[in-house]
A and B are shown apart, each in its own frame.
Chain A
Amino acid sequence: MHKKIFFCLLFILLSALELIYAQHTQYQLKITCIDSSSGISISDFNVKINKLKISQSANPFGEVQLTHVKSGNYQLQIEATGYAIYQTTFQLNSNLELKFQLCPIHIHLDEAKVFTSNNQLGVSSQLHIISPKLSLEQLNKTNPLNWSQMLKAMPGVYLFQSGPVNSIPIVRGLHTNRLLLVQNGVRLYNQQWGIEHVPEIATENIDQIQLLRGPFTLKYGAEGFAGVLINTGPDYLKENGFHPKTQFAYHTNNKAFGFSEQLQFRTNKIATQLIIGFKKAADAQSPNYVISNTGFENYSCQANLLYQYSNKLSFENKLSIFDIKTGIATAAHIGSLSDLQHAIQSNRPLYMASSTYQIQKPFQTVNHQQWVSKINYQITKAQQIQTLYSIQHNHRQEFDKGVVWSTLSKSAAANDYDLVTQSLNLNYQFQSHLFQSEVGFDLVNGNNITTGTQMSFIPNYTLVNLGAYLTTKYQFKAISFESSYRIDHKHQQVFYRDLNNKVFSPINTFKGHSFAFAFSFPIVEKLTSNFSFMKAWRAPAVNELYSNGLHNSLASFELGNINLQAENAFNFESGLQFKNKYSIVKLNLFFNTLLGYINSTPTGKLTVTNRGSFPSFVFGQFDARFQGLELSLLQVLGKYFQFNYQVQLLKAFQIVQQKPIYAIPPNQMKASLDYNLNYSRRKLHISYMLDWNFVAQQTDFNPLLDYLPPPSAYHLIHLGSTLKFKNNLSFQVQIRNLFNVSYRDYLNRFRYFFDEPGRNISIQINYQF
C-alpha cells in the first residue's frame, strides 16, 4: 500500500513541477550537422553548451533540440566520431536553427583532441541502418539488473534466459560463440559456449553499446555471424579537473539494490577513471510465488589510465574486475527425468520458500579479470599505428547441491573452469580524402583447465589463433562502400583422460577466409537503401567437439562429436530507410544461410544412468537458414510526443528437411509512447514513457526436441518517468510488468518449473558533482 501512495505522490510532484515551469516562455534552438566533404547529414554527434550546463546527444533524426532557452550569447562545442571538434559562439534572441559543417578528421587532424578513449582516426561505419547503437540513457530505459538486460532496449536482440535474472543475448536466432562481445576494445574471452554463462560485463562501465553488423565485424573475428556487441565506457574528461558521479538503484521485485561510483580525474598529460559498482539481490518473485534461490551478488571495478606522452604518442591501460555469485533456482534443480515430469505436471514450483538474500547451493561464482594495454602512435596526420595487448583470466565455479555421501562436494565445485587468454592486436590505419582503411594482425592464446567433482562438459585445452584483416571504406558524397577481408588459422589441442586414466591429446586445426562488403546509396531524397553480404566461418568449439555430460536442469545427456567440420555463414541483408523531419522508418530483410550449422540434435536413444534414463543429444551439422524482417518506426507527434514501433519476425529451419530449429525467438512487437519536456532555463527535463511489448507464441518447434510445447503469447505494459535537474541530478522510476501478468517465456530454459517475475518497481538516482 505504501508503495502505491509513494508513487502517487511522485506523480503529483512531477506533474506540479511541469505546470510551474510551463508558465515561462523562452526561445527554441535546433542544431543539425553535415559532413563538409560529402554533404550528407551526420546523425551521431554531441552538443555541449557550458553556460547552460548542457551536454546533449543528437536524436535519431540527427538533431539536437533545446526549448525554453533564455536569450543571450552562448559558446557551443560539437563532437562527432571521425570529425574534428567544432567550437563557436552564437547569439540567441529568437527561435534559431543552426546547421554546421563538420570536417572529417583527416582534413583537420591537428585540431583533434587527444584525450579520448575512442579511436578518433578509426574507420567508422556509416551503415547505421544495420548497426543500431544505444546510448546509456536508452539502455537504462529498462532499469537493467545486469548487462544482458540492458540489451532489451536494443532492436533485434532477444534474451535466452536461465531463470529470472541470468540471460545471454540472442540476435536473429544466433548466440554464444556466434555473437562476439567486445569490452575495453578487445574481445571478451570467457566460457561463452554455455547458454547459462552470463557475460562478465559490468553495467556501471557502459556508456554506449553498438550491435555492429556488416564488414567491420571481421576486425574482431570471423565468428560473429550474428554481429559484434561493442561496449564502450565513458569518455575521459575533456578539461582538467575532478568529477565524481554517484548512482543508486533499488528494485522492489527482488529487493535488489545497487550502488556505483565513478571518479574521473584529468591533468594536462594524464586522464584517469575509476568506476566501482556493487549489486545485491534477493529471490525474484513471480505474481504468485517466490522463485527461491535466484538472488545474486555482484562487485565490479574498472580502472583506466591514459598518458599522453606527446601529440603523437599515447599509452592507455585498462583494468577491469568482475565478480558475481548467482543462485540457481532450487525448483529447477532436478535429479532425474521423473523429477522433470513431476515439475511439468505441477503449475507451481515444487520447492518454495520465503524471499531471502541468502544464496544456497546450487550456485555459480565467476571472477573475470581483464587487463588491456594500448599504445597509439600517430605517424602522420592521416596514419596511425596501434598495439593492443590484453590478458583475461576467467574463473568459473559451479557448485552443485551435492549428495550427502560426498565429502568433496561439500566444499569443492562440481565444475571448475579456469581460462587464461592473451591477445595481441597490431593495427595500422590510414585515410585519404575519400578512402579510409585499416589493416591488422591478431594473435590469441588461450589455456583452459577444468577440474571439479563431476564429469565436465569441456576438457583442458590450449588454443592459438592467428588472424589478419583488411577493412576499407570509400565514401563519395552520399554513397558509401565498405568491404573487409580476414584470414584465420586456429590451432587447438585438448587434453583428457579415458576410463583407464590414460591422457589423450588430439589436435584440431582449422583455417578459413572471410570477406564482406556493403554499400548504401540514396534512391531518392530522404530514402536510402543499403545492401550487405558476408561470408564467414567458425571452427567448432571445444564443447561441440568433446562434450560428454548430463545437463541436470535440461534433463538431457549431451555428447560431443569429434568429426565436426567448420560451419560457414553466408549473410545477406537489404534495408531501406526513410527519414524526414518527423519520422524515420527502417526496414531490414535478412537471409542468413549457415552451411554445416552445428547444433545439438537428438540421437533417438536413451542414456541410462543412476539418475534415470535421459534422451541423448549429439552435436551434428546440417544446413540451416535464418531469415526474417525487422521494421522500426519513429514518429514525432507534435511538440512533446514521440512514438516508437518495432516488429521482429524470424523463421529458422533446416534447409533439406524443412524442419524447425530448436530455441528460436518468437516473433515480437514493441511500441512506446514518450512524452518529453525540456525547460532549458530551469535546467529541467521531464519525460514519461509508456511501453507495450507483445511476444507471440512460437509455432515453429520440433516436439522431439522439447518436453513442453512453447508457452502462450503474452503482452506486457511498462511505465516510466524521468526527472533531470540541472543536468547533474536525475531521478528515474520504472514499473515493469505493470499489470503483474503471469507468463512464461519460450526462451527461458527454466520455463518448465516456474513463471517469469511479476511487477517490478525500480528507482534510480544519479548525481554528478
Chain B
Amino acid sequence: MIKKFSLIYFSIICLFACTKDEVTQPQFINNTEQISSVVIRLFSIEKPDSVFGIVWRDVDGFGGLDPIVEVMNLKQNQHYQMNMIVLNEFVNPVDTISNEIRKEAAVHQFFYYPDSLLENKLSIHVIDSDETGKPLGLLTALTTLPFLAGQTVKEGNMKIILSHYDGIPKTEKPSPESDMEIVFPIKISE
C-alpha cells in the first residue's frame, strides 16, 4: 500500500517538475505597440514650395538611447501650415498611428505649448476638427511674429501633448491621461 502510494506520489511530483521550454525563448520585443516617430511637415504659406520636415524618433523604445530630435527651423513673420504624422516603426509594415487618431478624433486632441522663451514669438491654431466640430490638432497653422529691431535669432522649445479622453468629455483642457508628450526645439531666425 505504502509502496504504491509512494510511487503515485513521486510520479505526480515528477510530472509537475517538467519545465517549460518557453522560458528559454523570451518573446520578441518588437510586438510593443508604441510610438516610435513623430514626423512634422511644414510649409510656408508665403513660400508654398518650401516644404520641409522634422523628426522626433526613438528607435529603441523606452530607455536605452535618447531619442533623435531635430530642430524646427522657422523664419520670422511667416505663416506655416503644420501637418503631423505619428508612426509605429516597431512593426512591419510600419503602422501610421495618426490615421487611427484621426478615426478616433472624438476622443483625442493635440495641444501645443511653446515655452516662455518663445512668448510673443509664435502662435499656433488648430485647423482640423472631429465630427462634432471640436479641435483635433493633426493639422495646425503656425505663425511666427516679426522680430523687434535688433533681434536676429530666437530659440526655445515647444511641447506637444496628445490627450486621450476616455470616458470623459473632450474639453479645451488636456485630459488626465496623455498618450504622447514630446518636445521639439525651435529656432526662429530672420
Interface residues of A (CB under 8 A from B): 309, 313, 315, 330-331, 333-339, 342-343, 350-351, 353, 360, 373, 375, 389, 391, 401, 403-409, 420, 422, 424, 445, 447-451, 453-455, 459-462, 495-497, 499, 501, 503, 505, 548-550, 557, 559, 607-613
Contacts and interface: CB of A to CB of B under 8 A. Distances in A.
Contact of B176 (A339, A424, A496): A339
Nearest to A337: B181
A559 B107 CA distance: 33
Contact of B5 (A315, A401, A420): A315
Nearest to B5: A315
A331 B157 CA distance: 29
Contacts of B60: 499
Interface in B147-163: 159, 161
A351 B176 contact: yes
B92 interface: no
Contacts of A409: 33
Contacts of A404: 100-101, 103-104, 107-108, 164, 179
Contact of A609 (B13, B16, B19, B62): B62
B88 interface: yes
Contacts of B1: 309
B46 interface: no
A456 B22 CA distance: 16
Given A333-B176, A351-B168, 9 more contacts: A404-B100, A405-B97, A408-B33, A495-B23, A497-B28, A550-B63, A610-B180, A611-B181, A612-B181
Given A334-B177, A455-B32, A501-B30, A403 B20 contact: no
30 contacts: A313-B2, A330-B176, A334-B177, A338-B159, A338-B161, A339-B176, A343-B176, A351-B167, A353-B167, A375-B9, A401-B164, A401-B177, A405-B101, A422-B13, A422-B17, A447-B23, A450-B26, A450-B27, A459-B26, A462-B23, A495-B25, A503-B24, A548-B63, A549-B62, A550-B63, A557-B63, A607-B62, A608-B67, A610-B36, A610-B67
Contacts of A450: 26-27
A449 B22 CA distance: 7
B31 interface: yes
Contacts of B35: 610
B53 interface: no
Given A335-B164, A338-B161, A389 B108 contact: no
Nearest to A613: B183
Contacts of A501: 28-30
Most chain A beta-carbon neighbours within 10 Å: one of B28, B58, B166: B166
A582 to B, nearest CB: 53
Nearest to B58: A610
A360 B167 contact: yes
Contacts of A339: 174, 176-178
A687 to B, nearest CB: 45
Nearest to B96: A405
A334 B178 contact: yes
B131 interface: no
A451 B29 CA distance: 9
Nearest to B28: A501
B181 A461 contact: no
A455 B178 contact: no
Interface in B46-70: 56, 58, 60-64, 66-67
B100 A342 contact: no
A499 B20 contact: no
B101 to A, nearest CB: 7
B34 interface: yes
Contact of A333 (B19, B56, B177): B177
B33 A453 contact: yes
A373 B9 contact: yes
Contact of B66 (A373, A549, A608): A608
Given A338-B161, A455-B61, A612-B181, A503 B30 contact: no
B182 interface: yes
Given A336-B181, A499-B60, A557-B63, A610 B20 contact: no
A619 to B, nearest CB: 14
Given A404-B101, A611-B178, A505 B24 contact: yes
B33 A460 contact: no
A187 to B, nearest CB: 17
Contacts of B181: 335-338, 610-612
B95 interface: yes
B24 A445 contact: no
A487 B4 CA distance: 34
A389 B28 CA distance: 35
B180 A495 contact: no
Contacts of B38: 610
Contacts of B179: 335, 403-404
A340 B97 CA distance: 25
Given A338-B161, A559-B63, A608-B66, A496 B33 contact: no
B34 to A, nearest CB: 7
B37 to A, nearest CB: 9
Interface string B98-127: 001101100110000000000000000000
A435 to B, nearest CB: 31
A368 to B, nearest CB: 16
Given A406-B33, A607-B63, A335 B178 contact: yes
A462 B1 CA distance: 36
Contacts of B100: 404-405
B28 to A, nearest CB: 5
A403 B176 contact: no
Given A315-B5, A336-B178, A503 B25 contact: yes
Contacts of B26: 450, 459-460, 495-497, 503
Contact of B33 (A350, A405, A447): A405
Contact of A331 (B23, B103, B159, B176): B176
Contacts of A424: 13
Among B20, B58, B107: residue with most chain A CB under 10 A: B20
A461 B64 contact: no
Contacts of A343: 176
A460 B23 contact: yes
* Most interface-central of B5, B63, B164, B167 (chain A CB within 10 A): B63
A424 B58 CA distance: 47
Contact of B20 (A330, A420, A461): A420
Interface in B3-21: 5, 9, 13, 16-17, 19-20
A203 B104 CA distance: 44
A38 to B, nearest CB: 38
A669 to B, nearest CB: 36
B26 to A, nearest CB: 5
Contacts of A454: 32, 34
B32 A453 contact: yes
Nearest to A501: B28
Contacts of B23: 447-449, 460-462, 495
Contacts of B64: 499
A462 B26 CA distance: 12
Contacts of B178: 334-336, 338-339, 611-612
Contacts of A610: 34-36, 38, 56, 58, 67, 180-182
A405 B177 contact: no
Given A422-B16, A459-B26, A405 B88 contact: yes
Contacts of A336: 161, 178, 180-181
Contacts of A448: 23
A403, A407, A549, A609: most-surrounded residue (chain B CB, <10 A):
A403
Contacts of A499: 29, 60, 64
Nearest to A549: B62
Contacts of A505: 24
A636 B175 CA distance: 57
